[in-house]
Structure formats: structure tokens, C-alpha cells
Amino acid sequence: SIDILCRTLAYFLVALFAKYDMEKQLKDMSFKDLLTGLQNRNKFIYDIDLLQKTKEGSLGIAYIDMNGLKKLNDTLGHGKGNEALQAIATRLTSLFRKDNVYRVGGDEFVVLCPDIPESIFKKKIEEMKEPQKWGIAQSVAIGAQWFDSVTDVNEQLKATDALMYEDKKA
């Protein structure tokens, strides 16, 4: 009877660990962009809610939009468009922690940097604006702002997004 008890216990432990691993894998998949490996819009929304609740420290925000993705896809194919998106992800993660970078739309990326010193954030943004380091032929539009404190994250995001659209028009 001890043998049966041990086998039953082992079965339940294996099932419990398998369930835990599966839940973790599903959560990771729901928060990850499969093409770039960055965090996705779901994780972005989740993190915005956390920032809004804590309202602690400073916040640096950058919006990045690749110009000409549709044209690239139409002329050279979606594979080339995907390569360009992956190059953008690589460039952003070379400057910022991967946990701070999100792909929030087809060709839109956001960087959220809570508690970053203003001088460091601005230095990274200046580095980001060097077009030759993107590894793509297309240009990118960038809007970036640093805030002394987290107030209304959605309003701060809108203001930064507007800066990106101004850069896109220019």
C-alpha cells in the first residue's frame, strides 16, 4: 500500500508542476510579441495600470514609429518588413532594458522607464535618434518626454505620442 501511495503522490506532484509550467508559459505568451520577443500591448496595459496605482518616482516615455512599413511590405514583402521590425526591437533593447520596451502595434513601439534619472534618459534618447544605428533603410519617428513624477499615465502617454506624430510630420 505504501507503493501505491508513493505512486499516487508522485502522479499528483508531477501534474501540479506540469500545471504550474503550463500556466507560466501561457502567461508569458499572453504578454510577449512573438515576432520581436518584446513585451506586447497586453503587458503594456498591465504595466500602465501598475504605474498609475503606485505613482512613485519619475517616468521617461518614448514612442517610436517606423515610417513606411506598409510600403516596405508591399514592395519587398512581409519578410523584409518583419526584419525591419526585429531590427528596431534589437536597437531599442540595446539602449533600454527589455522589460521597458513594448511593441504596441504593427509598427509602433513604446519605452516606459520608471525611476530613470533625466540625464540618462535624455542621453539614451539622443543615441536613439542616430539613424545610421537602426540597421534599417526606413526612418523612425520618435517622441520622448521625461516626467518628474507619475501623475496621469494616460495623459503623459498621449502627450508623448503627440510628440512622435509631430516628428513623423517633420
pLDDT confidence tier of residue 130, bands split at 50, 70 and 90: confident
Determine the average pLDDT of the residues in 65-78.
Answer: 93
Residue 20 identity (one-letter amino acid): Y
**Residue 44: pLDDT over 80:** yes
Antiparallel, parallel or unpaired: β 101-103 and 140-147: unpaired
| Amino acid 134: pLDDT | 83
Structural element, H or E, at residue 118: helix 118-128
What is the DSSP secondary structure assignment for residue 23, as one 8-state letter?
H
Determine the average pLDDT of the residues in 99-104.
Answer: 97
